[in-house]
Amino acid sequence: MGIWLLAVCAAHAQTIAITDATVHTVGPAGTIEGATVLVEGDRIVAVGADVAVPAGAQVVDGSGKIVTPGLFSPVGALGLSEVGAVTGTNDAIQQGVQFAAGFDVAHGFNPRSLVVAISRMDGVTHAGITPQSGGASSQVFSGLGSVVDLGGAADAFLTRGAVVVANLGVRGSALAGDSRAAAVQVLRAALRDALDYRDNKTAHERGERRAYSVSQTDLDTLLRVLDGSVALMFNVNRASDIEGVLELAGDFSIRAIVLGGAEAWMVADRLAAAQVPVIVDGINNLPTNFDRLNARLDSASLLVAAGVRVAFGAAAQTHDARLITQSAGNAVANGLSWHQALQAITLAPAAVWGIDDQVGSIEAGKMANLVIWDDDPLEITSYPEQTYIRGVPVPMHSRQTLLRDRYLQIDSALPPAYRAPANPDPVPRFR
Amino acid sequence: MFGVGQVVRTMRIRAVVVVGVAALLGLGACEQGKGDGPAPYSSTYAPLPSQSVLLQGATVLTGSGERLEGADVALSDGRISAVGMELDTRTADVVDAQGLWITPGVIDVHSHLGVYPAPSVAAHSDGNEATDPNTAEVWAEHSVWTQDPGFATALAGGVTSLQVLPGSANLFGGRSVTLKNVPGRSVMDMKFPGAPYGLKMACGENPKRVYGRRSRAPSTRMGNVAAYRAAWIEADEYRRKATGAKPGQGKPPKRNLQLETLAGALDGEILVHNHCYRADEMLVMLEIAKEFGYRITAFHHAVEAYKIADQLREHGTCAAIWADWYGFKMEAFDGIRENAAILDRAGACTVIHSDSATGIQRLNQESAKVMGAAARVGIEIPPERAITWITANAAKALGIEAQTGTLEVGKMGDVTVWDGNPFSVYTKVVKVYIDGALAYDRDDPGGNPVTDFSLGTAARHGGAL
């Protein structure tokens, strides 16, 4: 164990220079050919064509390779859900009524999740982990979301409890007596209660105020929404419901994020004016319910053209977090520029979560979450050759690659169970 | 099951071999239809109007494993009339296809379009007759809502034929139907002429969960197997009674829709499409097929097929799979992206399916995922190979390989034209021909089909169409 820790520390302290690569910084420097990215410890310290490589640095030849910021899956249940339909492995949904806005999924995050290892191999270096609604006793507020890196360590949080997820539209309707109007009223009542609580804390503690519609935990959480330190993420698709979100955000002076937004393109100008970002699925173009009648494949392109900040993601995206590159690529096929698409899976989600000072681009001072690609990262057939999280190269294998390697040759005399994996450390704790 | 008249009209080869229960019970066109004309429920598909066309100078993936550069594809009288270099241009409309790629029309062997349509409201939930573990008597076509907007978006993804299946709640879910992806007022207008029916079976978690929680059988995998075997015993008896009954001697059994479908599967006229995830469970299903003397045409989903690629090859059973779905349920825990690559390399019949109204729009991209993953372990899969997973092999799994699935001369003029390599994320479908008729044209959005449901919505103009 002692040796292991030592190795980990050594890995941490390392200076790494990725040289001679095509670097898409997604920052002010744009794309740089023949560039070096210099990493010290967990930070990027320099990027450019003329960066000197210090003596002792570990040099990674990036010639012919593409380097991007690590990918950011903005929503989903990475580390919260292991097997979708298996009870006991899903912690993004709570069926009880103890908490609503204050339900904090961070307590359930498992950095050693097999899905985390699979996702980072495909270039996802950090992820928004968000509560989901589901079940009869779910509420209009789903709870608090956080951002983790996928490095496999317990201290994975880049930001904790930074958004509250709420459900309006058809989902909210199902949670509020089958009326979307009631869902809005539940939400507004809770925010009004929180305002009352803010202004009358002492009286409330003495029992001299009216009863509130939400618990103490929820009130404390909503206070942070009202003071702007926590954003409210609305799971909503219909244009009229998005207009309702804009009205509500104005009335309570809160920071709003639209999640879903199938019809957001129809109110793109208003979203842009209010600086409300949208997390879109990118691929689901079907009217799967009446909130999505005007869903279309080119909505990301329309939103960006109107000046809306767009990130790719879907509420239920966990095992598929790695597919954000496919969403981005399809958006390019439908009108979005390549650089805007890359931004929508790196810097834009970082800005949505308010951590674009830490991650999302390759700039000096930012966290060294990087991916070296064999080819165009948005192309389906491309793969990361190496993912770095906080400056540490992550193991490029997972339970899936172990299965793959076991069954690549099936004409063995021995049953598969006797075929030892080439790598004996399937779920490495590498830092 | 076919009316005999329909079989004769559309499919000569089958007409010779059809001696199954329906024929022997005298359930052919005349008896069933009580009059002249086609049998009830038979295909009324008529190709869209077409004229001869010559697609000139493209990269052509034939579906038979070849890749031709700068080649022409000619369609006339609804058929593929020629494929090659510098074809005669005199009698056809010439389309400049330089820089474009041409493939056989994409075929999806696993769709629930129409039976689980969009919008997916409760009133549209018509894919699982989840009232009994054996509902072999139901036919998916009788649930198909032809106005599902998903048909039009699938067309924009290059899909020319698809199999619509019942869901997987039941051990025997019912009959599937193979459709041409053309708009129809009725499902009969869409039915692929002469395509065999399928029987949807399901193993594993779904049936035992659905019925187990109602405290009835099956509640375990062994319960699943016992129920399959009991049903086959009954079907076998029905079949023997039916085939034993001769005119004037003995009485044929009373017609039973459930047993008729199962007997059709035993006869090999109805193809068995078996939803099954786990390798060990697929091998048990193959034993059941052995016990009762039927063939499993394809395992669907088959996320662990890569563990038994050799066995699937030996049985001639296709594996119709997703590229990379995993982890959404226990029996999908071992899904890997190399599944198709390992199967294909072993010589097993490999098909990429969608089971999804969005996935069906980009089966090419799903295949590309496998190509990329395979390359990482040194398995090179060129485009001319990968295309077979969503064309020729899919046609084989549906029993329609004599009519479609490759660009061989004489086959149906089912062709998809792409604006580049189909296995690039940036590539889009530009034209789709079905039976030689231009069914979709990206360059003429006003001419593309819009379902009744989508009228007045942005789907009319959106990225989908």
**Cα(B216)–Cα(B133) distance, rounded to whole angstroms?**
10
pLDDT of residue B446: 86
| Exposure letters A289-310 (e unless 16+ CB within 10 A, then b) | bebbbbbbbbbbbbbbbbebbb
Contact A381 B375 (CB under 8 A): yes
Chain A neighbors of B357, CB-CB under 8 A: 286, 288
Instruction: Give the separation between CA B367 and CA A398, rounded to whole angstroms.
Output: 22
Place of tokens 């390989």: B401
- Measured between beta carbons, the chain A residues lying within 8 angstroms of B305 are none
Judged by DSSP in three states, B423 sits in: coil
CB contact residues (below 8 A), chain B span 195-214, against chain A: 205
Instruction: Choose the closest CB to A84 out of B306, B328, B338.
Output: B328
Q: What is the pLDDT of residue B5?
A: 33
Cα gap B329→A87, rounded to integer Å: 10
Residue A419: its pLDDT value, please?
A: 84
The candidate with the shortest Cα–Cα distance to B157, out of B455, B457, B448, is B448
- Structure token pair of residue A59: 């040099």
Q: Which helix (H) or strand (E) holds A407?
A: helix A399-407
* Tens-digit pLDDT profile for residues A369-386: 999 999 999 999 999 999
Closest CA to B202 of B327, B110, B316: B110
CB contact under 8 A, B462 and A298: yes
DSSP string, A381-405: T--EEEEEETTEEPPS--HHHHHHH
Token pair for B43:
């295909």
Cα A159 → chain centroid: 11
Give B220's DSSP letter.
S
Angle in degrees, CA A328, A334, A336, rounded to 5: 60
Q: CB-based contact (8 Å) between B371 and chain A?
A: yes
> Which pLDDT value is given to residue B232?
98
Which among B328, B332, B464 has the least Cβ separation from residue A285? B464
pLDDT in tens, A60-69: 999 999 999 9
B425/A379 touch (CB, cutoff 8 Å), yes or no: yes
Hey, how many other C-beta atoms are within 10 angstroms of the C-beta on B2? 28
Cβ contact A86–B149 (<8 Å): no
pLDDT digits (tens, 9 = 90+) for B320-379: 999 999 999 999 999 999 999 999 999 999 999 999 999 999 999 999 999 999 999 999
Listing DSSP states for B51-80 in one string gives --EEEEEEEEE-SSS-EEEEEEEEEETTEE
Q: What is the largest CA-CA distance in chain B?
A: 70
Of chain A, the percentage scoring pLDDT greater than 90 comes to 86
Backbone angles phi and psi of A249, in degrees to 5: -60, -40
**8 Å CB contact between A243 and A268:** no
Of the CA atoms within 13 Å of residue B109, those in its CB half-sphere come to: 39
Three-class secondary structure of residue B154 per DSSP:
helix
- Cβ pair A380:B328 closer than 8 A: no
What is the per-residue pLDDT for B14? 33
Residue A203 tokens read as: 């009286």
CA A143 to chain centre: 15
Grade residue A422 by pLDDT with cuts at 50, 70 and 90: low
The whole model's pTM is what? 0.94
Distance of CA B37 to the CA centre of its chain: 27
Per-residue pLDDT at A405 = 94
How large is the average pLDDT for residues A399-405?
95
> How far apart are the C-alpha atoms of B383 and B73, rounded to whole Å?
18
Give the one of B150, B327, B376 whose C-beta lies nearest to A383's C-beta. B376
Q: Which residues in A lie closer than 8 A to residue B205 (C-beta atoms)?
A: 85
Residues of B in contact with A407 (CB under 8 A): 306-307, 342
Helical segments of B339-381, H only = 339-346, 363-376
Q: Which of A125, A126, A80, A127 is closest to A106 using CA atoms?
A: A80
Which one of A280, A283, A324, A407 would you mutate to disrupt binding with B, by most B Cβ within 10 Å of its Cβ?
A407
- Report how far apart, in Å, the C-alpha atoms of B426 and of each of A330, A337, A338, B464 are: 6, 11, 10, 14
**Which residues on B lie below 8 Å from A297 (Cβ)?**
462-464
Pick out chain B residues at pLDDT < 50: 1-32, 461-463, 465
Tokens matching residue A244:
């309702």
**Mean pLDDT, rounded, for A324-343:** 97
Cβ neighbours, 10 Å, residue A405 = 18
Q: Which helix (H) or strand (E) holds A119?
A: helix A114-121
Residue B17 token pair: 């071999």
> Are A372 and A67 spatial neighbours (Cβ–Cβ below 8 Å)?
yes
Residue A180 has, within 13 A of its CA and on its CB side, a CA count of 17
Residues of A in contact with B462 (CB under 8 A): 285, 294-299
Q: A157 has which bridge partners?
A: A148
Q: How far apart are CA A154 and CA A110, in angstroms?
A: 8
Cα dihedral B154, B157, B163, B166 sign? negative
3-state secondary structure of B181: coil
Q: CA distances (Å), A304 to each of A187, A232, A311, A353, in order?
A: 29, 21, 10, 18
Distance between CA B253 and CA A218 in Å, rounded? 68
CB contact under 8 A, B368 and A380: yes
Please spell the DSSP secondary structure of B424-438, one letter per residue.
STT--EEEEEETTEE
The CA distances from residue B56 to A230, B49, B81, in Å, are 59, 21, 14
Task: Return the pLDDT at B312.
Answer: 98
pLDDT at B172 (0 to 100): 98
CB burial class (10 A; 0-12, 13-18, 19+) of residue B406? buried
Mutate to test the interface with B, among A267, A285, A298, A408 (most CBs of B within 10 A): A285
Instruction: Report how far residue A37's alpha carbon sits from residue A171's, in angstroms, rounded to the nearest whole number.
Output: 45
Number of alpha helices (DSSP H) and beta strands (DSSP E) in chain B:
14, 16
Q: How far apart are CA A380 and CA B85, in angstroms?
A: 31
Nearest Cα residue to B322 out of B345, B309, B346, B306: B306
Contact list in A for residue B153 (CB cut-off 8 A) is: 285-286
- Per-residue tokens: A71: 């990918």
Q: What element of type H or E holds A118?
A: helix A114-121
Percent of chain A with pLDDT over 70: 93
Which residue ranges form the domains of chain B, and what is each CATH number?
172-407 (3.20.20.140)
pLDDT digits 0-9 by tens, A174-231: 999 999 999 999 999 999 999 999 999 999 999 999 999 999 999 999 999 999 999 9
Could you tell me if B122 lies within 8 Å of chain A, comparing CB atoms?
no
Which amino acid does the sequence have at A100? A
Chosen for mutation from B278, B426, B454, B465 (greatest number of chain A CBs closer than 10 Å) is B426
Under 8 Å between Cβ of B196 and B234: no
Whether residue A410 and residue B310 make contact (CB cut-off 8 A), yes or no, is yes
The average confidence (pLDDT) of chain A is 92
Compute the average pLDDT of residues A286-297: 95
